[in-house]
Amino acid sequence: MDRITENILRQRMHGLYLSRKCDDITELSRELMGLHCWFHRNAAFSALIRGASLRGWKTSLTKTWLYRGTLHGAAYDDLPALLALHAGKDSFEWLVPGREQRNEIAEKVISLMEDGVFSRAEMRRIFAYDYDDEIIGRIFSPWGGIFVYLARLGKVAFRDMTSRDFDLIDARPSGTSEEVLPELFRRYITSYGPATISDAAWFFGLLKERKKELNSLNLDEYLRFEHNKNTYYYIEKNDDTGEIPEITLLSGFDPLIVSYADRSSVLPPEYKNAVIMKSGICLPAIALNGQVAGVWNIKNGEPYTEFFTVQPKRIKDTAFELVSGICFQTRGHLR
């Protein structure tokens, strides 16, 4: 790893609380603009790794769909701005062709929730009287269906971080994408920088023509440097970024791995398939000096570690102790 790449990694790990601590999970989520939780345990892993307590975590964060269509646990008061980024940008024709029918279904779901029906399974049974199997399969898909649509409107979220049921919320998007993007980009560069425009576009799910929205921002307010034909933007910080830890646990879908267009400096190409499955699932990983060198997890309530190459006993023992600590702290919190 060259010196510039090492410095980029050092600053990113500091910004993402991997070389320092954040003891409040809500503040952590606010600074990272959500904790990835396609599997809710990964949000808990991410918090513990970064020094936050899980006390009250099931309700201190709100689990809903954000950028890239993925589930995140976010601070409730952050949702209006985060949801505004894609407000009105998705047609949802893939869900139910025709706005009139889609709105009819959405209103019926809202009405059922107002009457106390919060289970997807129970709604399927109720809708079976009026809709065919194809439409029901789409609107109540395990991937979200109509609830993704309502979540994007700031009307629905999961009842808590571990629940499969939904609840009504009031977090309507605050303005347009053009209005919120400058501040969200600043927040991204503050926590995730140094980063490129391509990194930010990937993080926010601004693909193809929407990537141009980032180039139209006032980028002169950020410091920058060139490396390997890429322009990196960052904000000068007064605090010491510290050193890259020798051993770092990374959660599944950890921000250090999944929040950048190019992840090769953290995840060596030869290990990519061992960490990121064909399904897109990103496993919890072990980083040595900032680079992924193994995986870890909690299986049947017990800590598990595996390195891709032979490591000294000291390294293996330390990693296992760290995972054992996570295992102990999550007991009783992940049900």
Mean pLDDT of 9-13: 97
Element at 211 (helix H, strand E): none
Please confirm whether the linkage preceding 194 is cis (ω < 30° from 0). Answer: yes
Over 80: is that where the pLDDT of 3 sits?
yes
Burial class from Cβ neighbours inside 10 Å (0-12, 13-18, 19+) for residue 258 reads buried
Give pairs for 266-273: CB < 8 Å, separation 24+.
Answer: 266/9, 266/290, 266/291, 266/292, 267/291, 267/292, 268/292, 271/308
Please, are residues 203 and 188 in contact by the beta-carbon 8 Å criterion? yes
pLDDT of res. 90? 67
Reduce the secondary structure of 274-313 to three states and give it as a string.
HHECCCCCECCEEEECCEEEEEEEEECCEEEEEECCCCCH
Least confident of 207-216, 258-267, 281-290, 319-328: 207-216
Q: From CA 90, how far away is CA 210, in angstroms rounded?
A: 12
Please, are residues 72 and 63 in contact by the beta-carbon 8 Å criterion? yes
Helices (H) and strands (E) in the chain, counts: 15, 11
Three-class DSSP category at 34: coil
pLDDT tens column, 130-179: 999 999 999 999 889 999 999 999 999 999 999 999 999 999 999 899 99
Element at 35 (helix H, strand E): strand 35-36
Strand locations in 122-243, DSSP E?
A: 156-158, 166-168, 223-227, 230-234
pLDDT of res. 238? 79
Q: pTM higher than 0.85 for the full model?
A: yes
User: Which amino acid makes up residue 236?
Assistant: E
Mean pLDDT of 266-292: 96
Share of the chain above pLDDT 70, in %: 99
pLDDT of res. 97? 81
Burial class from Cβ neighbours inside 10 Å (0-12, 13-18, 19+) for residue 320 reads middle
| Beta-carbon contacts of residue 276 (< 8 Å; ≥ 6 apart) | 267, 282, 283
Average pLDDT score over the chain: 94
8-state DSSP, 160: S
Mean pLDDT of 252-276: 96
Residue linked to tokens 């992840």:
263
pLDDT tens column, 88-98: 766 678 788 88
Q: From CA 98, how far away is CA 101, in angstroms rounded?
A: 6
The domain segmentation of the chain, as residue ranges, is 247-330
